[in-house]
Every structure is written in C-alpha cells, then in structure tokens.
Structure 1
C-alpha cells in the first residue's frame, strides 16, 4: 500500500462476491484518473472471495481488511469513511464495476463547484453474466417521496467528500436499503448533482429472496422516515410496497 495521501479513496465492502470482485477491482485499477487508493473490507466472506483478494495483497494502491465476522454492509460502509485517506470517497458495490472515466468525470464536476458535496450518475444495467441489458437513467427532484418512490441515486455511482460520509452515517440496523435511508435523511438539492452519463455497470439481481428482503426493508425505511412525508405520500408508498412485497 502506497503511504502518500491520494485524492480519492474507492471503497468496497464485500461478502461472498467470488464471481464478481475481480472484475470490480480491475475496473478501478484501469481508471484514466490514477491518484486513488482502493480500500476493501471483506465482511466475513466464506466463499473464495478472500483468496481472490489475497492476490492483490501487495498491490501499492490496494488496502485489504479481512474480517472473519459478518457485521453487515452499513457497518462496513461507516468503517470505510473512518479509514479512507482520500479527500473524496467513491463507492462501488462488489458486484458492479466502473466505466474507465468514472473518477475523472466526477472529479471534474467537483472542481467546477465548491457547493457540491455529493455526486451520482446514470448506470448501465447488466445481467448475472455481465451483459448490458438496459440503462438506469432515472431523473427526479431530490425529495423524500421521490427518493423512496423511484430512487435516482445508484449507490455504486456515488462520490462524496469523505467528510460528508463521516457526518452522515449509514444506519447499521438496516441490512438492506441503507443507502436510500441515508439519501432521504441527508441529501439536499443544493449540494447534490446527478451526472447524466453512464459511469458504472450495475448488476441486476434475479434472486427472488433478495428482492423480497429488499422490499421488506423498504417498508422499514418508509416508516422510519414517516415524519418526512405527508399523509398521502406515506399512504401511497405503503400501499405500493405492500403490493410488491405480497407479489414477490
């Protein structure tokens, strides 16, 4: 690991991502912008993820933290912010990967405005085999209702000042949808920008159990943030996700 302080930390938490973690890491190392470190927290994986990570153990840009205990994604994301050396912290999930110019493009927007604290972008949708099957290009106003109805902020595309993540923590009790909860609680339209460019490849899940669990946690996020919604918004979201949950 290089001891010089980088401008960007790219943070990954991983749990049993043996089939995708190498592609994710290689997409980071192949960036056009190279002043970064890669910080990876292995959250108790019990497949071959640890063996794959060990092949990068001596890479000068990569710092790997292996933990035998599975504490969950939100706890690990909070740890990433505490351990990051970069001024900016870019997130990418271990089953996704980055377009070659992602860091360069996002940093360019930060350089243009001192008001910006957090940035996201559009993404290509890929299937389990890594084939592009569509796009994720939602656009909406940043309000609690819109974020909960059709969240336009894709976690793997987010870059923010590391300080922002230190001041705005993920809720460790939300094992899914913790990112949506964080956006609802913390993002303000005046310091957020959605880049209308495809900077990440986002892997769509077809696991019905995972989808059902995500909808279960969406209920929890909606009810946790009930005070941020009016009566009609709250009622509509509860009906919508109850219907989706019952059909899953």
Structure 2
C-alpha cells in the first residue's frame, strides 16, 4: 500500500501534462501512487496518460465524462489508498523533494496537514526552488490553522487544495462541492475549521503555472459569481455558530467578496450590468444572514455593498 496518493485531475492540459507527471515520478520519495482522473479531455491528454501508465505501474487512470474539477478530485479520493493525499493540478508541477520533506514532517509531528508555499512560473517545469540541505526546513506547528488562512506575513495558508499534504483520514469523507467553479476555498476553510494539527512551511515546493485558459484566468461570468455565492453559503452552513465564525466573517467573507468586486470592475463594460445584478443578489442574501459588516472591508467598498443592497428590487 502506498504512503501517499497523488491525485491529478486532467482536462485538456496536454501542453503541460508530461512536465507535471515527470516532476511527480522524479520524486526523491518513492512510496506513492499517482491517480490521474481524466475529466473527458478532448486533446492529447488521454494518450499521454496511457503512455505513462504503461511505463510506470504507479500511474493509475480514471476516466470520467466531463463533470468538472470537483468531481475529478472526489473520484480520485474514492480511489486513493495512501495514508496521505496530495493534490497536484495537471498544468502545475512539484519540487523533487516535495514528498520527502512533507511526509517526514507529517510523520514526525503526527500532523494532519502540511501546507507549503509555491512559485508562480510562466513556462514549463523547471526546478527553481532552492532548498538548503544543510539544515531543517523552517516551519510552524499549529492546531488552529484557520487563523493563518490567507494571512499576510511570514506564515500563511492559501485557500487552494494544492500545496498541501493531507492525512487521508481527515479528508476521505469530505467532498468538494460538485459542479461549481472556485471549489477550493469552501473546502479548505471548512476543513481547517475542524482544527487539524497543521504544519506551515514557507518553503516553495509547488510550481504554479500561469495558464491563460484556466478557470481563474478567464473572464468572470454571472455563473462564476453564483458559484462564489454557493461557496460562501456552504461555509456559512458548516461554520455558523462555531467559535471560528467571527474570524470567518472578518477575514474570509470580505476576501471572497473583494475578489468578485475587483473581477467585475475589470470586466468588459458590456458585461457589467448583469454581473452587478448577480453580485447584488449575493449581497442581499448574505446581508439577510448578517454576513455583510464593515469590519474586514475597506470603507469605500463597504459603502458600495450597502448601496447595492439598498437598491435591490
């Protein structure tokens, strides 16, 4: 049985896929399986996967009709047999020592999550993170990881599912919301709210590839605004009444609303009317739940939210 299951959702990333898989198969730690979930790719991705699976029995392929990233990850989780799980997006790559370092720390501290940093790259895989082999990698150990979510400064945990090694037992029964964009942040927030023992690394072990055709880089749509709303409602339903909820209202909600606000401001003028209407509906619903507050928001943006809410039909 492998120690680590690496889940790689794949959808039309043939340009990047070999570099992703090479970075995984070239790890200094060998006790892993790679579960590649082909989400109905129509490019050369399926052929690339077949070639790798033929040459390395650690590579396993799951084929599904196009259902989105959430379902690909969920199906990968069902098939995973490792003690730990790592998500790697198929247009990204990882440092050659990612598994070695994160696994050692997780075992040493009986950690549930090991979160690490990333480098943004605009080209194909290159092992650009420099790690000092002469001393231990600096890290922070906490059982209140939510309070480090998207925090500025030395120790921070991102909203992304990638960039983290998870103990399987804490995520096997937790599913990503199917059928939505931006599924990472509600998943991570609700997981960290349960106070798993977490190690935070500053070390850059993940190479995030700028892909202009990825979900996060393409234009905002009313559907995407609605999906942000679904994610916030999911957090509200999971976390309301908890002692962490005040932190969520002050830090997580304002951050996600700001992302949407800025995306709409940068959108094409012809699209703004319908986007503002979708955002307005979200604000009205969240205000009804008492989730729109001044604290955590810039005053100018908060005033704009209040105007939108007041002018709602």
TM-score by length of 2: 0.66
Whether the 8 Å contact between 2:19 and 2:124 is mirrored in structure 1 is no
Aligned to 2:30: 34
**Which one has a bigger Cα radius of gyration?**
2
Equivalent positions of 1:5-154 (< 5 A) are: 5-58=1-54, 59-67=56-64, 69-114=65-110, 116-129=111-124, 142-143=145-146, 146-147=149-150, 152-154=158-160
Aligned to 1:179: 184
RMSD over equivalenced CA pairs, Å: 3.1
Higher strand share: 1
Q: Does 1:168 align with 2:164?
A: no
Judging changes above 3 Å, is the alpha-carbon distance between structure 1 residues 156 and 233 closer, same or farther for their aligned structure 2 residues? closer
C-alpha separation in 1, matches of 2:17 and 2:232: 31
Aligned pairs, number: 236
**Secondary structure, in 3 states, of the residue corresponding to 2:176?**
coil
> How far apart are 1:220 and its partner, in Å?
3.3
Judging changes above 3 Å, is the alpha-carbon distance between structure 1 residues 179 and 144 closer, same or farther for their aligned structure 2 residues? farther
**Secondary structure, in 3 states, of the residue corresponding to 1:172?**
coil
Query: What do the CA deviations read for 1:149-193 (whole angstroms, capped 9, x no partner)?
Result: 99624432221122222122211132x221211111111445122
C-alpha separation in 1, matches of 2:147 and 2:219: 22
> How far apart are 1:235 and its partner, in Å?
7.1
Whether the 8 Å contact between 1:96 and 1:203 is mirrored in structure 2 is yes
Aligned to 1:210: 218
Structure 2 residue ranges without an equivalent (≥5): 130-139, 268-313
Judging changes above 3 Å, is the alpha-carbon distance between structure 1 residues 31 and 190 closer, same or farther for their aligned structure 2 residues? same
C-alpha separation in 1, matches of 2:4 and 2:263: 38
Aligned to 2:165: 159
Query: What do the CA deviations read for 1:38-86 (whole angstroms, capped 9, x no partner)?
Result: 111111001111111111132221111223x101111121111111121
Aligned to 2:261: 243
Whether the 8 Å contact between 2:67 and 2:179 is mirrored in structure 1 is no
Q: Runs of at least 4 residues of structure 1 off by over 3 A?
A: 128-134, 141-151, 205-209, 217-220, 226-239
**Secondary structure, in 3 states, of the residue corresponding to 1:155?**
coil
C-alpha separation in 2, matches of 1:132 and 1:104: 15
Whether the 8 Å contact between 2:20 and 2:94 is mirrored in structure 1 is yes
C-alpha separation in 2, matches of 1:95 and 1:233: 29
Structure 1 residue ranges without an equivalent (≥5): none
Judging changes above 3 Å, is the alpha-carbon distance between structure 1 residues 17 and 108 closer, same or farther for their aligned structure 2 residues? same
C-alpha separation in 1, matches of 2:73 and 2:47: 22
